[in-house]
Amino acid sequence: MDQLKKELNEINIDNNTKNTILNVFSSWKNCKDNHQYIDNLQDAKINFGYNYSINYSINSNDVNYNKNYDKEIEINKRTLYIDNCKNLEVEITNKFNHIVLINSANINIVILDGLISGLDIIRCNNCKITIKNKQFLVSFSNSYDCNLIVDNIYDFYVNTDFCCNIILNLILNNKKKDIITNKSLFSKNNLFHIDNNLLCTNYFGEVVE
């Protein structure tokens, strides 16, 4: 911010324009600072608690890259982005506002704490998401061959746009029910409601078996 103020003082603009630029930058920075990004990561195990830790091994013939990495970084972020990642094991024990999984494959996520607004899975394949706490909305977009496992059912919604083979594994009091929500990319139904009796209905109120 100080650098931006200095640069703005060096150019000939009026105070109103200068204040507008500073306000926009401040808003953008606050938004960015409330996000946690994990991107371009492969073959890793990640745990999100009060801190987050990444413990992964890079396999290479070069001895300089045959190392184990442990990182613990304090987090106070509200939204978690996992972007362009492969072969991750992710455990989340800290509450987030939102989680976005995008452009990723072979991701196994276990969510032990709740999410405030929801979970988005965008352009992903072969992902397994296990939710063990309350969640209102899970949204899949342009994704295929994904499993959503929900333990201890409550009322929630699943949205699936341009998806194929999205499987819901529902568990309630040791009773299990599996539902394939999109058997085809051209499925007309893309919004599903699951109640606390394992009943799944689509947008039209029809029961989905």
Residue 124 has pLDDT above 80, yes or no: yes
Under DSSP, the state recorded for 209 is -
| pLDDT recorded at residue 57 | 47
- What is the layout of strands, in order, in the sheet containing 105-111? 68-74, 51-57, 42-48, 86-92, 105-111, 128-131, 144-151, 164-172, 175-180
| pLDDT recorded at residue 83 | 92
When the candidates are 2.60.120.560, 1.20.1250.20, 1.20.1300.10, 2.160.20.70, the CATH number that belongs to 36-202 is 2.160.20.70
* Domain limits, the chain: 1-33, 36-202
Q: Can you give the pTM of this predicted structure?
A: 0.74
What does the pLDDT average to over 97-117? 86
| pLDDT recorded at residue 121 | 94
133-185: per-residue pLDDT in tens?
Answer: 777 789 999 999 999 998 876 778 898 988 889 999 888 888 888 888 877 76
